[in-house]
Structure 1
Amino acid sequence: MSHLDYEINKELGECYLFMGELDKAEDYYKKAASSNGIHPDPYLGLATIAVQRGELENALSLYSKAHRIDANDKTFAGMGLVKMEQGQKDDAFSLFQEALARNPENMVALLSIVRLGHELEKLEQILAPLENYLSITPGKSEVRYSLAGCLVCLDRKAEAQVQLEQIIATDPDFAPAQELLAQFDL
């Protein structure tokens, strides 16, 4: 199978996955995976399908296979999602940290680590990933709001206030920031 065949099969797998047609997506990803060369993307697609079907062990195996081919932020985040679903929250937290070390803009890992940071009471450890993301994409109000929320929970209200005021200055229609700021005893 040529590289062009691989690309076509991978693209068709992605299209069918996007449309929610898991069986067709799975067929094309399997064709792409069996093509010449070794690529992680078909295994990532097959892992996504396995997660959607609730086949967590299979998903973890597929993410691991992709990870052995090319350890990147997507493989770390995927394995983290499965571990989180399996209740292995500390392992998941570490995997999300690895994903964000490779790509600070991986939203799956960022949102997941924020959730786990609250659950595991590791708020201090999620400040840096949020700040790293904002250093690249400063206008993302939802991420800045998450940072402000963590700072409030850590009783660092003055720093939270700065973040909330920055949101309001750049995105005045972002109501949650105004609501949280209104709760402060200034």
Structure 2
Amino acid sequence: MKLTLARTGTAEPDPQDCLDLYRRLAGPVTVVTTCGPDGEPLGLTASAVTTVSLRPPMLLACLSGGSGTLAALRTRRTFAVHLLRSGQEALATTFAGPGGSGKFARVVFGWELGVPVLDGTLGRAVCTLVEERVYGDHSVVVGRVVSVRAGGSPDDGPSPLLWVDRRFRALAGVEGERGES
């Protein structure tokens, strides 16, 4: 294990060392969608998404600062977050690359509250933009959930798709093991 220190007031840790740590953080694979200025659907894959609050219901997503989806979200102020299920790696890959609204030519989707929503995901939330903060090369967007759909109990079907160590993974459950809180 290599130790990299940043001295106060001098240099930062080596970015590669940071990437080596970050890639070990497991995150849910989501697709964030919104509507562009000409009404075209836009979206991107994001793995830095989490809950903020239950009352009121809020989600947080970290989006690349140069993203066309982020630019449209700033204008539209409404977006959807889709939680992908294991087995939806192709969908995640479609939205991870460039392509603007062309990404939607390969997927089944509808519209809800003026934003495109993907069919067949583990769940989704449509949100209104509450706040955006820029940190480094990403923006943190916080959205208030105004509509939500979840696909049954986690025990009923496929698990969420995860991104860890630069590849897709699925949860591996152990039969009969349940956490109590």
Task: Identify whether the pair has TM-score above 0.5, normalized to the shorter chain.
Answer: no
Higher alpha-carbon Rg: 1
TM-score, length-scaled by structure 2: 0.23
TM-score, length-scaled by structure 1: 0.23
Higher strand share: 2
Higher helix share: 1
Q: Which has the higher contact order (CA 8 A, sep 6+)?
A: 2
